[in-house]
Structure 1
């Protein structure tokens, strides 16, 4: 303290510094450095309520991993008290007491920073070579009270912390809180799960390969509107046309032979026996030719109904071999759509047909589509990405306007369960699968 400044003036100046601190860090700096306005000391340290070192005089930042910080925190735990006291090396035992002189002057003053409500917000440690006097203790106790008030203002608890403290201190509030918690835990909520979803056709007309062959060309593009009977794709016809040409020539040859034998049969009885054989051969060749003509016609794949073409990249199909019955594309009515979702086995809850389903599309996350559950497959099947999942189908509400192919997330609502079950279902499942009980 300066010789020309009175204790009262110094106390008021320190109070001004403490009151004008902008934040907690600035307040900590003022407490450990500006308390010199009241009393002289060589070193000061400020600890939090749990004994952590927060500030040291003469430095801007505290390195808690430094040897000094570790030693002084251990000393704080030994010196902890709820009233001011003077301490020295004798207050510590063992190695910590022997090292006192390496870190602090001989005389230390321990000042708990206790607020008006009895809460302790920290501790101030002042150390110097000269012993502490009664006048020093009186001034520092006043400074400690001011610092505690300021720390309380900067460490004002949140409203919920104040409420918790009031509940703990009031038996009736504790009883009411327990009752409210029990009621909340048994409050029924709807159990729900989320699953990736897509808008798909409800009754698509699947177009399949009519025979084994090779795709020559795809005549439509994805999402193209097609009319009934429109050409969709064609298979390679080279082999069929060659066989049909051979069959036509065989029929023509057999017909010419039949005409010749028929004329001879008027003069040669033996020729009459060959007429029936040749007619049978013509019928066989004609049937083969008709079959080839039918295959040639079926190689031109046409739309069974009007709608929108659903297929992958047409270029990937060109030249691709297909087997009979293999799916090539589908024709869907844009107005006949439903929800297809994939539910992970871990999320499979009890879902009843007709249950509510809500869909949030990626393209319009602020709007929800309402649907009703149609079915959930019994067994999980492999998805295109290799993951196992249960297929879910849901019917959209009549007023829903959804476009084919849009994707999003479906929320499937199940039965109502207590809130405590809703909160504990997933953790309990993980614990049981991990521990095996």
Structure 2
């Protein structure tokens, strides 16, 4: 303060007096000696000024010996208007009002910086407050603090369902209309059993036409074979007719393959997992469209849907507990397999992240059972567990 202020205004001597510390700085010197004559003189001058009284005649004579004749006393105060000290600037010419105003604003900045630098540590402040607090209040405060920092598992709830593990997905082998469904939901099926039948009317009609075309081509081939013994020109056209017969045979074989594929069979033993069969009868399907699945009843897992707001830090292996609607008092223990990074659209039209968990105990609930899954994450302080959702809502609305 006493040296760098000269970059803003011209003066010859400066001194800084702080409350409770005395004279702490003088321009042009690196350190202040408390028992030096100049320091003792400055202390008397600052004491008289802060007390609001004039200096004595002897001190005026001494002033002329130590300082220029035109002083400017600048008080330093904190935000509560408590005096911190005084900055003295002295020069040979008068101080005008504009310079005094600028310097007063500068000393306000000096006072703010001094307060920030010499502010007591927060830990010391809290310690002093606790020391001044009554014993029972301090005990209550410490107890509340310990409870709030107690570590608990951060958990979220999500709707869940028992789904098959690695089921055989049965899809439409070709474009068409489902004519008949031969199985019912949860019906046991064996490998090779017919699951559903596509309408083969168009295929059968094409096969009849192809069979007649093949018969015609074979008749032409027989006729060309007989003529080839007597007519060299007919022998040259026999190869073309033979190729036509082979083409018709391949076309008929392809249609026969489509007819076989229109009857969809189960690739494995298990149970049929599907919706209402009556909803599928007469429905047009595209090739590759899922119709049903065949799953092993004993191979099931938990599927949960996490809302984007509930997507906490979950790692594979995290505990998952399923509370079934049919038996809420017997939770099913599971272990998290994965959580999808991208949210997908659910049947109810809401976006959610799919999570899968393997059942850890020997219980094997039936496929389709629904309930609520609790997914446990890392341990966090209780205060975070309590205020995580409210803080998230506040930030969404206020943008903090």
Cα distance between partner residues in 2 of 1:425 and 1:265: 93
Q: Choose the corresponding residue for 1:188, options 151, 159, 173.
A: 151
Which residue is 2:206 aligned to?
A: 243
Cα distance between partner residues in 1 of 2:169 and 2:364: 23
Cα distance between partner residues in 2 of 1:332 and 1:368: 23
1:315 match: secondary structure: helix
1:413 aligns with 2:376: yes
**Cα-to-partner distance string for 1:119-140 (whole Å, 9 max, x where unaligned):** xxxxxxxxxxxxxxxxxxxxxx
Which residue is 2:189 aligned to?
A: 226
**Cα-to-partner distance string for 1:126-179 (whole Å, 9 max, x where unaligned):** xxxxxxxxxxxxxxxxxxxxxxxxxxxxxxxxxxxxxxxxxxxx9332221111
The runs of 5 or more residues in structure 2 that have no matched partner are 1-132
1:353 match: secondary structure: coil
Cα distance between partner residues in 2 of 1:215 and 1:431: 53
Cα distance between partner residues in 1 of 2:380 and 2:260: 60
Which residue is 1:199 aligned to?
A: 162
TM-score, structure 2 length as denominator? 0.66
1:303 aligns with 2:277: no
Moved more, 245-254 or 319-328: 245-254
TM-score, structure 1 length as denominator? 0.61
Cα distance between partner residues in 1 of 2:290 and 2:367: 19
Mapping 1:256-405, distance limit 5 Å = 256-405=219-368
Displacement after TM superposition at 1:398 (Å): 4.1
1:278 match: secondary structure: helix
Cα distance between partner residues in 1 of 2:204 and 2:244: 21
Displacement after TM superposition at 1:184 (Å): 0.6
Q: Compute the RMSD of aligned alpha carbons.
A: 1.0
Which residue is 1:175 aligned to?
A: 138
The answer to which structure, 1 or 2, has the higher relative contact order (CA under 8 A, 6+ apart) is: 2
Runs of 4+ in 1 over 6 A off after TM superposition: none
Are residues 344 and 278 of structure 1, via their aligned partners in 2, closer, same or farther at CA, if it must alter by over 3 Å? same
Displacement after TM superposition at 1:253 (Å): 1.1
**Cα-to-partner distance string for 1:358-394 (whole Å, 9 max, x where unaligned):** 0000000111000000111111111000011000100
**Cα-to-partner distance string for 1:269-325 (whole Å, 9 max, x where unaligned):** 111012101110011111100100000000000001110101111111111100000
Cα distance between partner residues in 2 of 1:281 and 1:303: 37
**Cα-to-partner distance string for 1:324-360 (whole Å, 9 max, x where unaligned):** 0000000011111000000000111000001000000
Cα distance between partner residues in 1 of 2:387 and 2:157: 17
2:287 match: secondary structure: coil
